[in-house]
Every structure is written in structure tokens, then in C-alpha cells.
Structure 1
Amino acid sequence: MKERTIQIIKYFISNQEDVTFQQLSKEFQVSARTLRNEVNKINDFLAQRKIGSIKNERGKGLKLITDTEKKSELLTVFEEWSEFIYFTPEERLFDLILASGLGKQATYLYAKEADYQVSKSTLDDDMRRVRQLLYKYSIDIVSIPKQGLVLSGGERTIRTMLFDIIVKFIGLVDYQQNEVDESILDKILFTYIPRKTFYQLDEIYNRKISAWEENIYRKQVLMFTAIWVSRFNLGNTIADTLSENAIFNESEILDFVDAVMIEFKLICSLNERKYIAFILESFNKKDMNNSIEWVQAQLLTIQLIQHVEKETKIPFSRREERLYEGLYKHLTGLLHRMKTNFQVFNPLTENIASSYPEIYEAVVRFAPTIEEIVKNEITQDELAFLAIYFSTSESRINQELEYIFKVAVVCNHGTATAHLLAENLKELFSVEVIAILSSRELTVLKKMDVDLLFSTVRLEQKTLPTLLLNPILLEKDKRRIKEFLIEYQHLRRVVNEPRNGTSLLFSLLGIIEASGGTVTKEVYQKVEQTFKNHQLKINQEEIQPMLEDVLNESGILLNVPATNWEQAIEKVATPLITAKVIEPKYVTAMIASLNEFGPYIVIGKNLALAHARPEDGVKELGISVMTLEHPIIFGHEENDPVKIIFCLAAVDSYSHLNIMKDIVALIHDEEKIKLLTEATTTSEFQKILYQSR
């Protein structure tokens, strides 16, 4: 049996979906006629063994029709014929990379020639393709006497590459599937990382992180951990660069890592332990407040929501709370991953891009802003994840709001007929008929606020999207109207707003206080619940403090001398320490973070936002600001020197959202930054800072 015939049989064993001859032709690079001959030969082979057959159903395509038992028999046949089984070029590529990176035995090219049953020239071509693929990771593959094929590159990079290659070739690994349903690529993977390893890791995950969640984050955590365990057991470790006395926060991820070390008897350095925890933490989007990227993620979240809302005209700010929370957590993990050349796989990317094209494209156009911060490219998979949050928010908005089109009707069949058409349109579709006109009255349209035009006569001049209809609507007209409205749905208008009870809430609380009462936390919660019971929406954004509510006069320092960035941070934090908003250790944490992670607090041209994590010594929400007598170099390539520095003390991830919005506005307003740095009095500084109010 020829190599190609065996490849086609293997394809049908692993593929559960119908496939056309055209798809097969593209897959195997041969004509449909040749493939028909191959399928006939395969069916003869299958008939001889009474295993089943490949059926071609009209309108659907080809599919191997047999049961699980027969598939097992077929696999047994191939085991017996193993000397004739050839890997496809892609399977050989996958095997060569995994053999070099995860194989316990030395891998020699002459042995692979025999295993693959290919010529030396074919294997040479395969090796050229391997080198081309690894080049983008800055990894080489070399053949060393007595060692065989060896990957040459940094260990961090090699682990990331192996993860990336496995995800790209296989996707999300399902180690629990029936072996009969495995693809050849699955079999190759489990040759180098046994199923047992995944089962062991899964059990540890159940104990240390979650026994009930089943999502892509879990699967990818297990995949990367399996690669780490395999590489470590082969003697490949991360170089020690940390002090043995280094301290970092404990977490469930670290508990998981420690349990893995015990289970697999790994004796790891502190640096190795911190590295794997750092990578695995980037998959975790439960609570990222302990990440140093939290402020960057908040700034990006605000900018992204504003950008997508502007691009799509969808009022995402109406559902900002849940949208913000989801995006913020994902972006924090994303920044964490991108800085280590590590991004997650999304099996739904194509579906998201095709189902929500407007939102997806808007997110794609925002990508350069994210890439500029981390100096790395973001994948389409990660962009699709971001689009999911907006798509979900859009669905919630659509459930709350009613949309209409404002339309005009042009009809020359008499007043009664025109009004009948208008009433039918209003009854069947979400339209408001602004005017009923004859074809001689079209000039008045210029003065009307109209989105669309429905006409029973063909019009020469079309200043608006226009649909030609029968005066008495037929079923085909109704279908065409529906398609027409979908095409121009971006012109829809919101007609009913959710009842916003925020102003009423403030008025009611004011009455309570004016009458001698006290608004305690318990009282506020009861009032808030009463509003919800009566379907009155409270806009949490309006309740949150603004920048001017939190920034006191005593927190504004002007034209202050500082010799270096450390001293600048110490001085801008002084008002917050004096007001007992933060503890002195918060300043120490800010300086330590910059020493470890670089000038990440320089968020805009000449602008810095000093901060650390809430648990580093924050007592309550607060902010201070300082202009510098002389600009300070923080080490940022593009935004240095810093002329104005804020110090933010946040207690959580949401209560200071309005403050962050004001700071985001400053990032894009270099003229205002200039005016602020030139201010000589506190009142002048405040006037400039709040002038957009």
C-alpha cells in the first residue's frame, strides 16, 4: 500500500467530520480524480476485512462509517503493518521537534530515516523546515555526536516554544479521550509526555486549585507544567539568578507547584520554583490585584473600552462594571504572558472573528497600543478573547435597550395606501415613520432626521439607504426589509433607557442625613437593595469618587527638587503618609518594584504614576501629585524625562476607576501636562487639571 493511501486512511480514522473531495485535494495536494481512485482502493481494503467503508453522501461529503470496535481492529491492522506506516510531513516535523526537546533517548537522523521510511534527502528537507520554524524562537537544532539532535537556546525560550508548537499542532490536548479517537499527532505527543503525567497533574490541580472548573486555562496550565516536568527531568533547568533569601507571596499556584515537585520528586532551586509559578500565574484570571501589572491593565482597560465604544457606536459604558472587571483581569494576565513571550490558545478565534466582525476588528485596531507597552506582538487568539468580553456586554445591552430606525415612506399610490404601508412597517419592524411623502417632496428630506427610506417608486436620486417595495407588503418584501435593516443596523437608535436611579439615590441619602440620620454601610446596602427590587439601576461609576474628590490641596506639591527617581517617589508619597492613607512600607514596595521590573510606572510622555499593590500598605483610597523642579530620568526609552508624578493608593480594582479615567485623559494631552508643570500655585494647578469638567 502506498504512503499516500495510508495517509488518507489515517486521516479518516482521526477525522470525525464529513469532508469533500475538494478539501481532501487541498489537504493532500492531489487531484479529486486521483483521490476518488484512492478511496475506491481503500474501500476494497476495508471490505476485505469487513471493517466498514468510506461513504460519500450527497450534499455532505465523505466519512468513514464504522463503529469503535471496528476502528480498533483497523488500528490493530496498522500496528501489524507498522513497517509501512508513514508520517505526513507535518507529523514528521512535530515528531522531530518533540524528540529533540522531550525525548528520553538520543535522537539520531539515520534512525529517524528508518522510522519514517523516507530518503536522506527527504529528511534533510524536513530538518530545513524544522530550523526555519525554530528560527523565529531564536532556537537552533544541532546534531552532536553521541547526543543526537539537541535544541540550542535559552531554557525559558525552549519551554515556551515547545508549548507553542504543541498548541499550534494539536490545540487543547485531551488526554482523557478514547485512544481510538486519537490523531497521529496525539500519539506522538503521548510518546514523549505519557498520559499518566497528565492524569497526575490533573489530580494535583483538583486538590490545590479547583476540582470543578474545566476550561482552557486549566488545560494549558497542565500542558505547560507537563513540559516543565519533562524538561526538568532531562536535566534542563533555569539558571539561578535569585538570592536564596528572596521572598515572594504565596498563592494557590505556588501550592500547586510545590505539590508537583513532591509528586514527581523534583528538587528545584528557588529560581526554578518562582519561574514556573510566574508562568502558570499568567493563566489565572481570578484575582490579579497581586500582580505588578495591575495599573497598566487598568489604564489599558479604560482605553480599550473607550476605543471600542467609539469605533462600534455600541454604548458599552452602560454595562461598564462587569465588562471592566472581565477585561481588567484578562489584560493583567495577558501583559504578564506577553512579557514572557507566552500567550494562550483560543479554539474559537475564527468563530469570534466571523460572528462579531465589527467588535473583533475594533479590538484588532487597538492591538498596537498593547504591543507598544510590552514591546511584543499580541496573537489573534488573545485578541479574540478580548472581543468575547465586548460581545457578551453587547448582548446584555441589547436585552436592556430597544432600538429603532427613523424612516420615511415615499408612495405615489394615494394617501390611504401610503398610510397602510407605514402602519405595516411600524407593526412588523422596529421603525418610527417620520414622514409619508410623494416622489415630488423628496427635497424636504434634507431637513428631516431620517435614517432610511422605503419607497414604492424607483428613485433617481438616493441620498439615504433606500429599499424599493410593493405598496401592499408581500412575504418576499418582509424578508427583504429584514435583510435591509440588518445591513444598516449601525444606524439604529436607542429609544428606551434603563431607569437610572442614581440621582434619586443621592437625593434620598441626602434627606436621611438632613433629617438627622446617619447613612451607615448597612443603611446604604438596604437602600441599594430596595432600588434593585424596583428595577431602578444605580450607575456605580457615578457613585465612585472623582479625582477632585480624592486629591486634596495638601496632596499637591509644586516645583519640588529631587535628585533621582527614588527621591521623587519618596517625596510624592509624603502627603499620603502624613494623612495615614498609606504606611511607609508602601514607599519601600514602590521603589523595590521599579528596581525589579523597570520603569513601568512611566505611563505617558513626561508622566509617571507611582504605585504598588494594595496589600503593600494601603489603608484607604488616596492620591497625591507632584511637579518636579527639574525633570527626572526614570529609564523609560520613550517617555522620559518625567516632569509630573502621581502617587496612587488603591484599595481594590474598581473603586478608583474614575480617577484612572482622568489620568488616561492626561496620557493623551501633552499640552495639559505642560501647563500643569508650569503652574505656580495650587489653585492654578487645580483649575488646569479639572478644566474639562
Structure 2
Amino acid sequence: MELDVRTNELFMEILNHPNETSGSLGKRLGLTRAQINYSFKKLNEYLADLQLEAIHRTPNGHFVVPRTVNEQFNDLHQRKQIDIYLAPEERMYLITLMLLSKTDFLSMNHFIVELNVSKNTVVRDLKELGGLLAKQGFKLEYLRSKGYRIKATEWQRRQLLLETINQIYLFDTDGTLLLQFADINEASLAKYQAKVEAVEQSLNIRYSDNKIKNLPVFTLLLHRRVKRKKTIRYDVELDFSELQETQEYNVIKEIFFDGALATADFNDVIYFTLLFLSTNLTQMDILSAKELRQLELAVTKVIQNFEKIAHMTIVDKEGLLQRVMIHMRPAYYRIKYQMHLNEVDIERQKNMGVSSVFYLVKQSLEPLEQFFSKQLPETEIFYLALFFGGHLLEHESVLAKEERKTAIIVCTNGISVSLMLERNLTGLFPEIDFIATLSAREFYEKNIEAEYVFSSVPLETDKRFYLVKDFLTDEGKLQLRKQVMNDTLVGMDDFALAEKIVKKVKKNTKVLDEEALFLDVLNVLKENVAKNEKIKDHVIHFDQLIPSKSILIEENQVTWHEALDALSQPLISEKIITPQYLTALKQEMAEIPPYMIFRNRLALPHTEPEKGALGVAMSFGIFKEGFLTETDERIHIVVLLASNDKEKHIDALLELMDLSGRDDYISKLVECQTAAQAYKILHSYRINYWG
């Protein structure tokens, strides 16, 4: 077994700097935690092959190098680069690249020589690859006259080629292997990099960083296929006249189909046009074409539907419309011509805190579905949800600027993923002002002043730097928050502080009712925060809006109006609502309105602020016997919302929307016997939601 470049570099650093932690090594080498873990695993497999002991990591991240390993490699002159080792899945991507990019006959010997592995290894890889391709409707075949090839339509081959390039860049970040196995020299690649930059300049647009890396390689290999007369035929009905009228068509034809390629098949020019039209952008001007104007009207109606379904007024609807339209310009061609985004992204959405907004957006999409005359793919809905969620959670902090830290977010994967990352980080760190979200190129060009930088890629900067993943898991959020809190000392939330106070009290006196003391301390902390004028408009979470006396657990069967009575009384006592608010609720809601039930699990009754809302708060009811809805579903959670401000409750509303879809939390809540138990579950949910 051999070591790849990254693993070998990590090995040398561990041997030469045994006291350094994995965290500091990662920052210095520009590696993520996942990359270090992957290389560390491969390193120990390499040592096992040499019958040497494994290197261990301590809980605080230090490396423990066995004496036998140090003795084996104590001559630093012998610590040199070793031939590249590739995992089986990495070899299959490179074989696919060879099949789709090279122009000569490919036999098994070609793969053996290029990959530097045995015949048996190549046989296994080809068998595995054949099975994977078959699942996608392709066929890997061998012809004596043509060698190995992938049997599929040209459209399918090109889509597979693009996906293969994207996957290879995940483990071959500098592109060395990609150029080697696609037989591309750097001079040729530089020409296509210049062509992509010329498209940017001509159209006055900026492609995301990862597209700038992928597009030159992909277009070069596409031209190679065009020259070999691998002309594309379309499986979908295209509106050729519409595409020819776009500015992109003329620019692409001039830049990519000049000289010897001027007589290229019209279908190939169209394909290149579609490619650039469907590529995510970081910024662009919306054109005034008739079709795009109709699309804008459809998006406007979607925003209006969202407001109605979510029971909220969106601030700066025009700003949201323009941001969505920047996304919808390339999405229009993806949806219309079935050039969909990779479906893997939607599989991650449950871990990103956007499922509630996803649910609301999906319910609001009828105007867009009418526009396209088809349902939108879930991946496209997911990215729309990122825009809505990001917009709703952008609150201007009223803390004095000099008292707050500022940060920049750098993301290389386009505006949709950037918005998602921005949304996660602003929710995760309400103590920090995130003043800009940039691509890597913009970061170096603009040099914006800020104390912190959160980036999805390694950067050269003298600011305090945090490397984050585009898609943060719940565990990742918790770890990142702990790291930043430890570094910046910006504070502790009410819940954690209340628990700490209760533990201190228990050490010095006898506590008869720990749960009651915990809730009383928590309420005191909340009241103190509420009176602090500097942070009165701070991001408010739903558990912070529920006073301990407003958590109701009812064992017996009650009527709907009895439930409203019980939930209203604590808010009336706290002067959050007037008795007239309860009267209005009863008049408007003889039964549970269907539009106030989320996922058949949670009801959220409320009415207009002018009918008696004096503040912002919630009363949380757990009804063991439950209530039947019009669809014969039984709900057990009813949350009475009062808000005299159409913005302050938005964060809480989104959290409750998501909570309604979490069966594990709903089940735990229904089983609660005390208010303290319920509150702890609600707080635990919120912490996992935001990290």
C-alpha cells in the first residue's frame, strides 16, 4: 500500500512536530477535520501493512507516535513523497474520467498502468463500476475493436462527465490527478480558463469559485468530444428560438465556437448555452425578457402565498424577490430542460434547520408550478427554502457596534449554499454581526474589515479564522459554537446559566424542588434580559417566549375552547394579552382551523395584534387526550401565540414549524409529567435546531 500526497505530508508533519495538535495541523495545512480523519485512517492502514504499531490521538488532539515508527522513519532524508494511493471509489471515478475523456483505445492494460495497480484490482473496479453505471441506466461494455466504453446517449455521457469531474475535485483538490487521467496539459487548460473568464466579462456576471474551477475542464473535454463528432441529441423538447435570443447564446458562440469549431453542430452550441445558463451564479443582472418577467410575477405570488400560510409579513419583499430571481435565472433552465441539481443535497436538509421553511415554501409553490407546467424537483424547492429562511432570519442587531464582534463568511459554492451557510451561522452566533458573505475571490479583492472569518475553504488571512463545512450537522454546530465561545468569551445562554446557578445552590443548601428552582431562576434571568434595552430586539427563540407558568399539561379530555381558556390565562395574568384577545380567538375559531395545524402534529392559534396583543409570548399546551382534526388526525400540542410585532416571533415560528415534524421530540413532550421536563425538552430541541 502507498500513501497519497496529503497523507504523506500529514505523516511527515506528525513525525517532525509530535507535540502539535490535529487542530493546529489542520489550520496550517489547510485541511478540514474530515480530511485529517480520512488521512489519519489511511496512515494507520499503511503502518499496519508494514507491521508497525498505529499512531494514536489523545482526547485533546495530540499524537502519540510509537517508538518503532520513529525508529523506522528517523532518517528525515528518507521521509519523502511516495506514489499516490487511491481508494476504490476514487479509482472508479478516474476510470470513468478516462472512458469519457480520452481519444484512444482503452484496454485493461491501460487502466493497470495508469492506476499502478494489479490486474485483479482493475477487474474488481470495472465490475463495481459496471454495477453502479447499470443503476443509472448506462452500460459498461468491451468491444475488441473499440476497447472499453460507456454505452449511453451523448446527453447522458456529458451529464456523467460533469458529475465525475465534480466528484474528483472532492479528493483531488489541486486537480493534478484530473489533468493526468484526462490527458490535459496546463497550457490547454489555461486557454479554457481564459474563455470562461471572457464569458464572465461579456455577460457581467461572476460564477461561484467551484464553477470557475470545474467549467474550464468540462468545456475543454466537451470540445474534445465535439471534435470527435460526438454530437448531442436531446431527450427533451427544447425551445431553440428562445435559447437563441439569449445574450448567453451569442457570447458562447463567439467565445467557444470560433475558428475550426465555427461549423460545429447547432445542437452543441445549444448545449454549451444551456450549460452556462444553468450554472449557479454569485451575482448577475436580471434581464427583462418576457419569459423572465412572467417568472418574476410567479415568484411574487409565491412570496404572497408564503406570507399567508406562515401567518407573517415579510419585511423587504422586494429584496427577497430580487435575491430569489438571481437564483431562478439559472434554475429556470435547469427545471425547464431537466438539468437538475445533484439530489444528494436534499438528503442533507434534515440536518440543516431548514425543514420548516422547506415545508412552508413547498405549500406556496402553485404559481411556479403553473408557470413551468410541472412540479419542481425537491432539490430546487430546498434551495428556494434557503433563500426564504435566510431572508427571514436577517435581523439588524441593536447592540452598539463597538460592543459586538464582526465576521465575514466565505463560501465557494454559489449563492444558494452561501445563503444556507449564512443562515446557519447567524442563527448559531447571534452575538456576532455577520457583515458580508463573499466568494474566495471577492474576499481577497475587497479586504473587508472584520474580526473573524468563517470559510468553507482554507484562506490566507491574519484574522481569527474558522474553517466550516457548507452543510453543518447538529454535532458540527455544537462543536463550532463551543470552539468560538471558548475563543471569544462572548457569553453563556440563559438555560446554561440557570443550570449552573442551581448546581451552585445545591452545593450550599438543601433544595426541596430542583425543577421548580431551575424554572424560577430561568424566569429571573429572562426578566433581566427583557429589561435590558440594549438587547430587547435580539433574536428570540420560541422557548424563550414561554414563561414557566405558561406550560400547561392536561391529563383529561377538554374541549377546544376550554383549551384556549387555559392557555390564555397565564398570558392575561402577565399582561401579554387582554381578555379581548381570548374573545376574538373563540369567535374566529369554533373549531381548530386547518391552516393553523402543522404536519397534523401541532396547532398554533393566534389572531391579529390589534385584537388585544400587548407583547410577544407563547403559552405551550400538552393535551394527553388530544383533539381530532378535520382529517381525523389527533394532535396533542397546542401553542397559543401572542405578538404585537410582526417580526419578533418569526424565529420562534420557524422553530415550531420544524418541531412539528420531529416525531421523537413530539413523543417525548406528550409523555412529560411536569413543566420543567417539558421545558428542558423544548430547550434541547432548540439547541439541536440551531447548534
TM-score range, shorter chain: 0.3 to 0.5
TM-score (norm: length of structure 2) = 0.47
TM-score (norm: length of structure 1) = 0.47
Please identify the structure whose Cα radius of gyration is greater: 1
